[in-house]
Amino acid sequence: MFDISLTFSRGDFTLQAALQLRAGGLHVLFGPSGSGKTTLLRLLAGLENKAVGHIHAPDGRNWLKMPSRLRPVGLMFQQHALFPHLSVRHNIAFGLRGKTENERVAMLLEAISLSHRAHCRPGSLSGGECQRVALARALAPAPQLLLLDEPFSSLDEQAARELQQLLKTLQQQDGFTVLMVTHNKSEAYRLADSVWLLEAGKVSGGGEPDHMLMGQRLSGRFQAEAEVCHVESDGLMARLEVRMEKRRFSLLVDESWRLQHGIEAGSRVLLTAKASDFSVFPVS
Ligand code: ADP
Ligand code: MG
Distances (CA, A) of 185 to 128, 181, 182, 195, 275: 21, 11, 8, 10, 12
Cα–Cα distance for residue pair 232/92, rounded to 1 Å: 34
Cα–Cα distance for residue pair 172/194, rounded to 1 Å: 17
Q: Is the dihedral of CA 91, 96, 101, 104 positive or negative?
A: negative
Cα–Cα distance for residue pair 17/204, rounded to 1 Å: 9
Which residues lie closer than 8 Å to 49 by C-beta, 6 or more apart?
none
Instruction: Tell which residue, 79, 255, 84, has the closest CA to residue 152.
Output: 79
State residue 92's pLDDT score: 92
With a 6 A CB cut-off, is 182 part of the ligand 1 pocket? Answer: no
Domains along the chain with CATH numbers: 2-214 (3.40.50.300), 221-274 (2.40.50.100)
State residue 46's pLDDT score: 93
pTM of the model: 0.76
Among 6, 37, 38, say which to mutate for ligand 1: greatest number of ligand atoms within 8 Å of CB. Answer: 38
The ligand 1 atom at the shortest distance from the C-alpha of residue 181 is 2
Cα–Cα distance for residue pair 81/122, rounded to 1 Å: 10
Helix (H, G, I), strand (E, B) or coil at 171: helix
State residue 101's pLDDT score: 78
Which residues lie closer than 8 Å to 281 by C-beta, 6 or more apart?
none
State residue 284's pLDDT score: 64
Helix (H, G, I), strand (E, B) or coil at 245: coil
State residue 216's pLDDT score: 44
Cα–Cα distance for residue pair 252/255, rounded to 1 Å: 9
User: Which ligand has an atom closest to residue 33 CA?
Assistant: 1
| Per-residue pLDDT tens listing for the chain (284 residues) | 999 999 999 999 999 999 999 999 999 999 889 999 999 999 999 999 889 999 999 999 999 999 998 999 999 987 768 999 999 999 999 878 656 678 889 989 998 999 999 999 999 999 889 989 999 999 988 899 999 999 888 888 888 888 888 888 889 888 999 999 988 877 888 888 999 999 999 998 888 887 787 654 444 556 778 899 999 998 888 999 999 888 888 988 888 889 988 999 999 988 876 555 556 666 66
With a 6 A CB cut-off, is 38 part of the ligand 1 pocket? Answer: yes
Q: Which residues surround ligand 2, an ion (CB under 5 A)?
A: 37-38
State residue 99's pLDDT score: 63
State residue 14's pLDDT score: 95
With a 6 A CB cut-off, is 211 part of the ligand 1 pocket? Answer: no
Which residues lie closer than 8 Å to 137 by C-beta, 6 or more apart?
76, 82, 91, 92, 94, 95
The pair phi, psi for residue 46, each rounded to 5°, is 85, 15
